[in-house]
Amino acid sequence: MTERQTSGQGGGGEERPVTVMVVDDHPMWRDAVARDLSEAGFAVVATAGDGPQAVRRAKAANPDVLVLDLNLPGLPGVEVCKQLVGGEPGPPGPRVLVLSASGEHADVLEAVKSGATGYLLKSASTEDLLDAVRRTAAGEPVFTPGLAGLVLGEYRRLATDPAPAAPDRPVAPRLTEREKEVLRLVAKGLSYKQIAERLVISHRTVQNHVQNTLGKLQLHNRVELVRYAIERGLDSET
């Protein structure tokens, strides 16, 4: 099995490499990460060494995944993330996997709130990085062990805060029973593969249900979907 994934954007079910951009201000580290990704079958379409350069090149190259360091000259990584996935009009931005030396809780939470799909420490192995990029491309949240619980805990804290009044908020759309079932398992932190095995359906079918649910709820990524589910107590349902 190769490291190529179906993009879902080409005709005839063609497969193409996942496209990746690497942003880090240390040239040797940046080149090493790019080389590892290329050797594993990913298409590294751009690299950058500072924040403004990262924004410009990411908009031009439109990668599937942006592997992003937080400590960048010119513009911090979280600001790069906000500019690229902040919901501005136009085509959707890349999915962002933060690759940082910092494991500080504040940095992790700030990155996720800025739109990052995942957060991996630079101490991770090459195999962990490759797996994280694959999963990020598929829309799955990926965190260094120990950080996932932190993020879920923050979502639960936010979910208990009183929400501002929103009288014009539309009625929640109706989800199918299968979509609700998938959403419930997403809220429990299961991966797409685990959900597929639990429900005896294909990995692709799980992805389709998640994408349909995101569209109905007008959410942007699985991280937001987890928060939505937790706010409604789905993670505690049996």
Q: Return d(Cα 29, Cα 195) in angstroms, integer.
A: 35
What digits encode the pLDDT tens for the residues 128-143? 999 999 999 988 888 8
Q: How many domains are there within the chain?
A: 2
Q: Is residue 2 part of a domain?
A: no
Q: Based on the domain organization, do 90 and 198 belong to the same domain?
A: no
Domain span holding position 221: 177-232
- The pair of three-digit structure tokens given for residue 178, joined into one six-digit string: 């299968």
Do residues 189 and 145 both lie within one domain?
Answer: no
State the pLDDT at residue 210: 84
Averaged pLDDT score across all residues of the chain: 81
Domain boundary (118, 153, 188) is at: 153
Q: Are residues 33 and 148 in the same domain?
A: yes
Q: Per-residue pLDDT tens for 151-191?
A: 666 665 655 555 444 444 444 568 888 988 888 888 777 77
CB atoms within 10 A of CB 74: 15
CA distance 180 to 174: 9
Q: What is the mean pLDDT of residues 108-133?
A: 90
Q: C-alpha distances in angstroms, 188 versus 50, 108, 183, 185, 209?
A: 37, 20, 9, 5, 16
Tokens of 58: 């990411």
> Token pair for residue 89?
């009009």
Stated pTM of the model: 0.67
Residues 212 and 111 in one domain: no
